[in-house]
Amino acid sequence: MRELVGKTAFVTGGAGGIGLALGRAFARGGMKVMLADIETEALQAAVTSLREISPDVRGTVCDVADAASVERAAQAAFDAFGKVHVVCNNAGVAAGGGIDDISLDNWRWVIDVNLMGVLHGIKSFLPHIRAHGEGGHIVNTASMAGMQSDLGFSSYGASKFAVVSMSEGLSLRLKPHGIGVSVLCPSYVRTRIGESGRNRPERYGPAQPLDPASPAAALVAEIARNIDAGLEPDAVAARVLAAIRDDELYIFTHPGSRAEVEPRFAAILAAMDRVSPP
């Protein structure tokens, strides 16, 4: 989509971090914006802040793990602005784990938000975008954790690998319809994802504390340090805006991304070479 002025964007996880930065970039770019988030007070504060840029900003409470909640949020966007053109399935959470503490509740929560939340957004908006015929773009937030496995045995990594695959397949199917797809794969960004548990619904049970001496706890501490030193969300949003205009499938944000994936790709190619004909 080359022309975004006057179009409408819907962003989940819009009350903070990358989601709020996306909303800000869209508003500055002349778009109408609907922010969706599970965190009511933070959502209202986000909407108030963006209305200093544009009056065409609204907010709707939404639990992306609940398909009906996403449907209601989509309807709120249609009621407010009519047509929606850009959908950012951005909401995401993380939970500790590893091989020493395999929590099914943690896995269900992370998969329901990070993967099913993306699916719910696609299901709720794709028929609408196809019907209005004005083109559109879907941005699914994955991660560099969806391109390589440095996190080890991880619900977060598994969910993000799935989002990459989903986005690649969706892109193939939607290109003939004039609808673009991007998968956002940032490395460390200064967000509050390390505090995801603040919004964990009761149906997934309480978060279990990690053994401070465990490898999983050490990994979580390292990730927290990397997040604190990470990229600003506004820089990520600027890349997303450019990628939508240029119809890019893969959105990488960190200069070191290539080095992160090369060992995995090399191992895959080497394994393929071992079964190649002599």
d(C-alpha 57, C-alpha 23), whole Å: 9
d(C-alpha 179, C-alpha 126), whole Å: 9
Helix (H, G, I), strand (E, B) or coil at 117: helix
Separation of first and last alpha carbons in the chain: 47
Active-site residue flag, 156: yes
Catalytic residue among 156, 188, 204, 250: 156
The H-or-E segment that residue 18 falls in is helix 17-28
Strands lying side by side in the sheet with 250-252: 57-61, 32-37, 8-12, 86-89, 136-141, 179-185, 250-252
Q: Degrees (nearest 5) of the Cα angle 38, 41, 42?
A: 70
d(C-alpha 58, C-alpha 208), whole Å: 35
Phi, psi of 74 (to 5 degrees): -60, -45
d(C-alpha 178, C-alpha 43), whole Å: 32
d(C-alpha 262, C-alpha 246), whole Å: 25
d(C-alpha 276, C-alpha 271), whole Å: 9
Strands (DSSP E) found in 111-231: 136-141, 179-185
Say if CB 23 and CB 29 are below 8 A apart.
no
Residues with active-site annotation: 156
